[in-house]
Amino acid sequence: MKTLLPAFALGLAAVFAFAPFEQFWLMFVLLALLFRRARGAAPTRAARIGFAFGLGQFLAGVSWVYVSMHEYGGMAAPLAALATLLFSAYLALYPALALAAFAWLRARAERFDLLAFAAALALADMARGWVFTGFPWLAIGYSQTPPSPLAGFAPLTGTYGLSFLTALGAACIGAAWRAPPRRVAAALLTAVVLVAAGWLLRGIEWTVQRPQALSVALLQGNIEQSLKWRPDLVNLSLARYVQLARDHPAQLVLLPETALPLVYERVPEDYIGMIAAPAMAAGGDLLIGAVRGGDGERYYNSVIAAASGAHYDKEHLVPFGEYTPPLFSWTLRLLHIPMADLARGAADQPPISVAGERVGLNICFEDLFGASIAAAAAPASLLANVSNTAWFGHSAAQPQHLQIARMRALETGRVMLRATNTGMTAVIDADGRVRAALEAFTSAALRAEVHGRDGLTPYMRWRDYPVLLLCACCIALCLRPARALPARPMA
């Protein structure tokens, strides 16, 4: 057990590579040390090292799960703590499998161990974003938002490509320690080339800015989650958003996820007209986050355009928060979450037109899934995310989620607008930099002028398939039979 404590400590430290700390260079150091600990280990021992690393990373990095289940979900503290531990242990299985695969591949082809390490970790991040509907939070690539030089690769490779490149650069550093001079030179040259290429790629604009500016107002109501759904306090939310909309007129006014604590069809019609009037007077529209009753039996987590009536329904629902997986209905007795049985929105929903722009919408953690956002961004000129992270209190969830949205802006070459209930409401430029953001846990509006963009980045065209192919090629190199040496003639 003592030998696994250093790996656990490396995992704990990995959290500092992500928001709100954003020490991108630290991920290279930590993965280099992880590479050195796992190289030469048997697959079973490498798996234990990977599990210890992952358990440290996820216990520290997604501890806000406890806040949502206990403080706002009503689960007893011991059960919430156990559930958080089990969830972190499940997530830790992915780096465990990655390092086990790395050790097995290295034993077959040591000369390709750098590629095996990078491919194994990238595939683990990719699998975590897919299995059981996916949870790719804290994928390695997310640590490389600007100012990291590797951020320049995002429009080409996406987040999982950055996971591969970060792990490859880290393995180069780890392999250079006490290695023969030729291997040191090759490893360090590879790392230098990666950094230099990233810096050069950051100077390329993959999409074209539209000439006409659009005025936007992103509203942050700051309604306490424990108060939001109380029937006697419904008017608090309604009044607050009316006041913010009146005080901050714009062509595009964006409200956060479930901003109105009523089913949309039950909201008074004169209220919708009143809150949307300033935006409509500016020639635009107001987009409202609310639960929408589709046919009276199914309900959707939606964004509805007040003027046009167009809507977007959330497609990628949160397990246990918005729907209950089969065989887990018993969890509803432990959690007290409103609107926990929602219907899934249709695939390939079109963007909503507002004042000449095409707004591609996504709700809450849907922006974790880069390939889905890339598909939705192709016909859109702007991206917008509405979220309610009040579920996670004063935790790292808000800045971590903002960092994820920055990666989506980079991958698609689109401006990303974020309207949230408690934070972090922000305007993110197409280069992944935050232009402006509201202070968390304040009631305010963020006003800005933005430009839509046209065109496709390479990632929007090919998504994650090139990275998947690259990883497959790396594994194939390791599995290729070694060439037999020619027999020496007998004396």
Task: Single out the residue of 45, 18, 13, 19 nearest to residue 32, CA to CA.
Answer: 13
**Which among 314, 322, 474, 478 is annotated as catalytic?**
314
**Which among 172, 364, 471, 478 is annotated as catalytic?**
364
Q: Is 269 a catalytic residue?
A: no
Contacts of 475 (CB under 8 A, 6+ apart): 105, 116, 119
Q: Is 314 a catalytic residue?
A: yes
Q: What separation, in Å, do the N-terminal and C-terminal C-alpha atoms of the chain show? A: 54
Contacts of 269 (CB under 8 A, 6+ apart): none
* Alpha-carbon span 78 to 63, nearest angstrom: 14
Task: Single out the residue of 360, 301, 367 nearest to residue 136, CA to CA.
Answer: 367
Q: Is 364 a catalytic residue?
A: yes
What are 292's strand-pairing partners? 300
**Which among 228, 257, 315, 366 is annotated as catalytic?**
257
Backbone torsion region of residue 355, taken as left when φ is above 0, otherwise alpha when ψ lies between -120 and 50, otherwise beta: left
* Alpha-carbon span 217 to 436, nearest angstrom: 12
Cα atoms in the Cβ-side hemisphere of radius 13 Å centred on 488: 2
Query: What strand order describes the sheet that includes 299-305?
Result: 311-313, 299-305, 285-293, 252-254, 208-220, 444-454
Tokens of 141: 């690539």
Contacts of 165 (CB under 8 A, 6+ apart): 118, 144, 150, 153, 157, 194
* 360: helix, strand or coil: strand
Catalytic residue ranges: 257, 314, 364
